[in-house]
Amino acid sequence: MTPEQVALVERSLAAARPRLRELAADFYARLFDAHSDLRALFSSDPVAQQEKLAAELDAIVSAIPSHADFLVRARDLGVRHARLGTTAPHYRMVGDALLEALASASGPGWTDELAQAWAAAYALVAEVMMAGAADAAEDAQPAGGPDGAAPPAPRNA
C-alpha cells in the first residue's frame, strides 16, 4: 500500500466512526443475506456485533502502516480466527460485505481511490491472517490429518 492509501483508509475510518452502529448493522445484514450459514459463527447481540466490527476495522487500520509488530499481531489474529472456525473462503465473504457497508456509510465520499485503498488494506491483513492460520495448522497437525483447521468454537451469544 502507498502512504496515500494508508492515509485515505485512516481518514475514512475516522469519518465513519460516528456511524458505526449503522455500519455494523449494514455489514451483518449484507454478510448474513449473502451467506446465512455464517450466522452461527457470530454473536447475535447487536452491541457485541458493533464492538466486533469496530475491533475488526481498528485491527485493519492499526496494522497497515507497517508497524514492526504487524506481522506477529496479524498472524496471531489469524490463528485465533481459525480456532473460531474461520476458513480462507470466509475472508472473501467478510471482505465483500465490509467494503459494501463502508461504501454505503461513506456515500459520495466513496471514491475509486478509497475503494482501492480499503481493498488493499483488507487483503493485506487477511493474507497475513490466513498465512498465520495455515502455519499454525501445519505445526499442530497430527500425523496423517489433512484438514488442519480447528473445530468451530461454540457460539457465544
Whole-number Å distance between alpha carbons of 82 and 134: 9
| 30 contacts ligand HEM (rule: CB under 6 A) | no
> Smaller CB distance to ligand HEM: residue 62 or 104?
62
| 56 contacts ligand HEM (rule: CB under 6 A) | yes
Q: Among 120, 1, 125, 148, which Cα is nearest to 75's?
A: 125
Q: And the C-alpha cell for 153?
A: 468454537
Q: How many CA atoms lie within 13 A of 43 on its CB side?
A: 13
| 73 contacts ligand HEM (rule: CB under 6 A) | no
Selected from 1, 20, 59, 120, the binder of ligand HEM by CB under 6 A is: 59
Is 2:116 a contact under the CB 8 Å cutoff? Answer: no
How many binding residues for ligand HEM (CB under 6 A)?
23
> Smaller CB distance to ligand HEM: residue 80 or 144?
80
Which window, 5-13, 15-23, 75-83, 136-144, contacts ligand HEM (CB under 6 A)? Answer: 75-83
Which window, 8-16, 88-96, 104-112, 143-151, contacts ligand HEM (CB under 6 A)? Answer: 88-96
CB neighbour list of residue 73: distance below 8 Å, 6 or more residues apart = 59, 63
Q: Give buried/exposed letters for 47-75 (b at 16+ CB in 10 A, else e).
A: eebbebbbebbeebbebbeeeeebeebbb
Selected from 105, 114, 122, 136, the binder of ligand HEM by CB under 6 A is: 122
Kindly list the residues in this chain that would bind ligand HEM in the complex (CB under 6 A): 38, 41-43, 48, 52, 55-56, 59-60, 77, 80-81, 84, 86, 90-91, 94, 122, 125-126, 129, 156
